[in-house]
Structure 1
Amino acid sequence: MEPIINAAPDDKTLIKDSDERAFAQDVIDASQEALVLVDFWADWCQPCKQLTPALEAAVRKARGKARLVKINVDQNQGLAAQLRIQSLPTVYVFKDGRPVDGFQGAVPESQITQIIDAHASEGSGNDQIEAALDQAAQLLDAGDAETAAALYAQILQADGEEKRALAGLAQAQLKLGQPDEARALLDAVPEAERAKPPFSQVQAALDLAAQATAAGDPQALKARIEKDPDDLAARYDLALALAAAGDRAGAGDQLLEILRRDRSWNDDAARKQLVTLFEAAGPTDSFTLEYRRALSSLLFA
C-alpha cells in the first residue's frame, strides 16, 4: 500500500475546546508550531453559532497551517476578563506565542481564510518585516528598549499601518519613561482597535502607569500592614506602588494575599488589578504564566 502523502490533520488536532488552565499549552505553546485562532463564545450567543462553523471550515481547509481553540466565556470568566473580551463572538489570532490579530462578530469564511493566509503563508513578501518584528520583540524582552524603538520606527517607515510595530513602539516608549509619547501613539489608533491585540497590552500598561500617581509611600504602607495584616486597603495601595516601581512579583503577592483574606474585597478589586498586570506583561511573560496559575488555584480551590 502506498503511503498517504500530505494527509490533512484530523479534527482532534485542528479543533479543540480549552479553558483557563490549559490556555498556555493549547494556545501559546501551540502557536509556536501553527497559527492558532481562539474563538471566545457562549451558548446564548447567536452570532457565535454562525461564526464557529465558518471558523472550523476555514481551519480544516488550511490543512495544518492553522488550528482552532474554543473558549466558553461563561466557564472561563477570568480568562475572558484578562484578554478584555467585551463582546461575542471575539476571535484572537496567536502566532509564535503572541496575539497578532483579532476580530469581533460573525464574519464570512472567506475573510477568515484571508486572515489565515496573511499570517501563516510561507515565503511571502513580508518575510523581512516579520523577521524585523521578531528581532524588535526580542530586544524589547531583553531590556534594550532604545534599540527596539529604533527598529520599530524603521518598520513603520516601510509600513505605517503595521499594528505590531505601532504597539511595539508604544511599549518601548513606556519602558523608556515616555508615557505621553506612548499614549499619543495609542490615541491615533481607532478606539475599537485598542481593546484588541496587540494594542490591549499597551493600554493595560498605560493604565498601570496612570495608577502610579495614586501609589503611596511603600515603607509607610508596609508599616501599616505589619501593624494590621487585615488592612487590605494598605495592601492594595502597596501593590500599586510596587507595580509602579516595576516589582510585578511583589505587587502580585500582595494582590493574591488580599484574595486569600477576602476574595470579594472592594468589588473584586484585587483580581481586577491582577488581570491588568497580566495584560500589561503579556500572555507569554513568565510573570503572567506563574501568577495566573496561582490565581486559578486560589479561585478554583
Structure 2
Amino acid sequence: MPGPQTPASAPAPQRPDIVDVTLQGFRTEVMEESFDRPVLVDFWAPWCGPCKQLTPRLEKIVREARGKVRLAKMNIDEHPQIAQKMGIQSVPAVVAFVQGQMADAFSGAQPESEIKAFIQRLLGPGGVDVEALLAESQALLDAGQVAVAEAGFAQILQNDPENPAALAGLARCGLAQGDSEQAKAILAQIPEKHASNPAVAAARAAFALEEKAGAVGDMALLLARVETAPHDPQARYDLAVALNASGKREAAAQELLVIVKQDRKWNDEAARKLLLEFFDSWGPTDPATRSARRQLSALLFS
C-alpha cells in the first residue's frame, strides 16, 4: 500500500505590513521582523484623540511603502508593559525598531510629510524612491512648506550629490527663504550639461526674476504709475515683475499681455520675452502658464 503523498512545498505565507501586536507576540512580530525590515510600533489608546488622527496616516504611508516597512499597533491599555519598559509617558508615540534594536522615535500626531521623512531615514539611501521624493518635495515647496521640502531635496543629494533636480529644488528653497546668495551658490554648482533640465531651467529663471524684482521698487508706487499712465509699457513691465515676485502669477501675466496687445515690439519684444521667463519659472503645467500661453498665442497669431 503506497505511503502518504508528500505535499508539494507551499509558498511561505506573506507577512502582513500592518498588525495588531500583543505582549506575547512582541518578540516575533516586532523584534524578529525588524531584522528583515524596519518596524514601527504605534503605541495608542482608545481614549486618545490624537491617536485617531495618527494611526490612519501611519497605515496609509506603510501601505504606500509596499512592504519596505511594517506597522505594529499596540494598545497600551491592554498591554502596558512594553510602553512602561520604554519609558513612554504619553500617546501617541511611535518607536522604530531596526535589527532588533530601537532606532528612532517620535511622539504626537505628526503630519504625513514628517512621517515619510522619518521612514526614509530608517530605510537609508537604498530605500529612497528618488522620483517620488522629488515630486513630494516640489509639492511641499509649492505649498509653502519650505523647511520640509528642503530636507527632502537634501536627502536626495546625500545619495546623489549631483542630482540636478534636487540641486535646483534646494536653490528654490533658498529663494523662498529670501537667501538669494545661497540660491546663487547652489545654482553655480550645477554643471552646464544639465542646463536643459526643466527643474534647473525653472530655478535659474526664478533666480533671474528675483534679481529683477529687487530693482523695480514698491508695489504701491508701481500700481499708481500704471493707473496714472496706463499706456506706459515700462510701468506695466515693472509692475508685472513685482506681482510675480509676490506670487500673483495671473495678474503679472495679464500686465505683460496688455503690453503685447498695445505695442508688441516695445523694447525688442521685452514683454513677450519676460512672459517666457515666467513660463520657465512656473513650469509648463502651472495653470497660470497654460492660461497665459494660450492668450499670448492668440495675440501673436491674430
Question: When the two structures are superposed, what TM-score results if normalisation uses the length of structure 1?
Answer: 0.55
SS of the residue 2:264 aligns to: coil
Find the aligned partners of 2:275 and 2:282 in 1 and give their Cα distance.
11
Partner of 1:252: 253
Partner of 1:212: 213
**Cα deviation 1:37-80 (Å, max 9, x = unaligned):** xxxxxxxxxxxxxxxxxxxxxxxxxxxxxxxxxxxxxxxxxxxx
Find the aligned partners of 2:158 and 2:231 in 1 and give their Cα distance.
53
CA displacement at 1:126 relative to structure 2: 7.8
Which is further off, 200-209 or 240-249?
Answer: 240-249
Partner of 1:161: 162
Aligned partners of 2:165 and 2:197 also within 8 Å: no
Partner of 2:148: 147
Find the aligned partners of 1:222 and 1:142 in 2 and give their Cα distance.
27
Aligned runs of 1:72-221 on 2, under 5 Å?
A: 128-221=129-222
Matched-pair identity in %: 47
Taking structure 1 as reference, are residues 224 and 135 closer, same or farther at Cα in structure 2, changes over 3 Å only?
A: closer
CA displacement at 1:256 relative to structure 2: 0.5
Query: Which of 1 and 2 has greater Rg?
Result: 2
- Structure 1 unmatched runs, 5+: 1-124
Amino acid at match of 2:252: A
- Structure 2 unmatched runs, 5+: 1-125
Find the aligned partners of 1:130 and 1:196 in 2 and give their Cα distance.
14
Taking structure 1 as reference, are residues 208 and 169 closer, same or farther at Cα in structure 2, changes over 3 Å only?
A: same
Taking structure 1 as reference, are residues 170 and 259 closer, same or farther at Cα in structure 2, changes over 3 Å only?
A: same
Aligned partners of 1:218 and 1:241 also within 8 Å: yes
Would you say 1:264 and 2:227 are equivalent positions?
no
Would you say 1:288 and 2:282 are equivalent positions?
no
Partner of 2:232: 231
Find the aligned partners of 1:251 and 1:206 in 2 and give their Cα distance.
17
What root-mean-square deviation, in Å, do the aligned CA atoms of Structure 1 and Structure 2 show?
A: 1.8
Partner of 2:68: none
Aligned partners of 2:222 and 2:239 also within 8 Å: yes
Taking structure 1 as reference, are residues 245 and 298 closer, same or farther at Cα in structure 2, changes over 3 Å only?
A: same
Count the aligned residue pairs. Answer: 177
CA displacement at 1:274 relative to structure 2: 0.6
Find the aligned partners of 1:223 and 1:176 in 2 and give their Cα distance.
28
Amino acid at match of 2:282: A
Amino acid at match of 1:191: E
Question: When the two structures are superposed, what TM-score results if normalisation uses the length of structure 2?
Answer: 0.55
Higher relative contact order (CA 8 A, sep 6+): 1
SS of the residue 1:267 aligns to: coil
**Cα deviation 1:8-63 (Å, max 9, x = unaligned):** xxxxxxxxxxxxxxxxxxxxxxxxxxxxxxxxxxxxxxxxxxxxxxxxxxxxxxxx
Find the aligned partners of 2:219 and 2:169 in 1 and give their Cα distance.
30
Find the aligned partners of 2:133 and 2:230 in 1 and give their Cα distance.
49
CA displacement at 1:132 relative to structure 2: 1.8
